[in-house]
Amino acid sequence: MAQTDLHIHSSLTAGGELSPRALAERCCEARLTLAALTDRRAVSGVPECIWRGAQLGVRIVPGVELDCRWREQDFLVLGYCLDITHPALLEMERNARENPVQPPFTAGQALGLIRMAGGLAVLVPPNEMDDTFPVAAFDGIAAYGSHARADTARYLSLARRYDLLVTGGSGFLSENRPPHRPGAVDFYGQEQRISADFLAAATHLNKEKRSFHHDSI
C-alpha cells in the first residue's frame, strides 16, 4: 500500500461513500501521509478534510476533478493546490448541485478554470489517446493508477517528452467497490520521488502566488 494518493473522492462525488472528515480518518487508517481530495466538480469538502487530516498527521491537498471530452473521448483533469474560494469554482459547484447533468468541459475550459483558481492542471489520460491529444497543454500527467504497467511506461515517456509533473492515485470512491481503500495504487518503487516532486511543485506554485500578490499591490 502506498503512503501517497493524489486522487480520492468523498461523499460529495456521486458514488462516494465517506464524508470529507471520515475520508481523512480512513486515509490515516491506511497509513497515508499525503493525499489530494479531488471531488467531481466540488471543492466544499476540502476544508473539513484538511482540518481532520492535520489532526491525524495526513497532509490533504485541495483538489478537484473535472469531467472532460476531446473529440468524443471522455477523460478527466485534476486540479491541485487551488484557491477553493475562487468564485469560478464556487459557481461550478453550485451549478453542478442545482443541475447534476452538466455537459463535459472541453480541455480548454478545464485548463482555464483550474489556472484561474491558481492551480496545477493534471491530465488523467483517456483509455485511447492518439498523437493529436493536447498532452503538452497540461502541467502534469497521472501516470500511476488503475491502468496497466505498459500504459504507465507510455505516460512516463510523455511526461519526459513534454516536461510534465508526474502524479498518481487510486481514484478511491467507496470501500464497496474497487480499489476499496485510499492508497491502493502501485508506484513501482517511485513513490518517494513522485511525492517529493509533487510537493516541490506545490511549494513553487505557492511562492509564485505570493510573488504575484506582492507585485500587484
The partner residues of 36 in beta bridges, in order of sequence, read: 61
| Domains of the chain by residue range | 4-216
Per-residue pLDDT at 69:
95
Share of the chain above pLDDT 70, in %: 95
| Whether pLDDT at 14 is above 50 | yes
Check if the beta carbon of residue 176 is closer than 8 Å to that of residue 201. no
Measured from the Cβ of residue 180, the count of other Cβ atoms closer than 10 Å reads 12
How would DSSP label each residue in 35-51?
EEE--BT--TTHHHHHH
Spatial CB neighbours of 55, under 8 Å, sequence gap ≥ 6: none
Per-residue pLDDT at 129:
87
Check if the beta carbon of residue 34 is closer than 8 Å to that of residue 7. no
Q: What pLDDT, in 10s, does the model give residues 107-141?
A: 999 999 999 999 999 999 998 888 899 999 999 99
Q: Which CATH architecture has domain 4-216?
A: Alpha-Beta Barrel (3.20)
Question: Which segment of 34-38, 41-45, 86-90, 207-211 scores lowest on mean pLDDT?
Answer: 207-211
Per-residue pLDDT at 214:
32
Output the pTM of the full model: 0.94
Strands 165-168 and 140-144: parallel
Q: What pLDDT, in 10s, does the model give residues 164-186?
A: 999 999 999 999 999 999 999 99
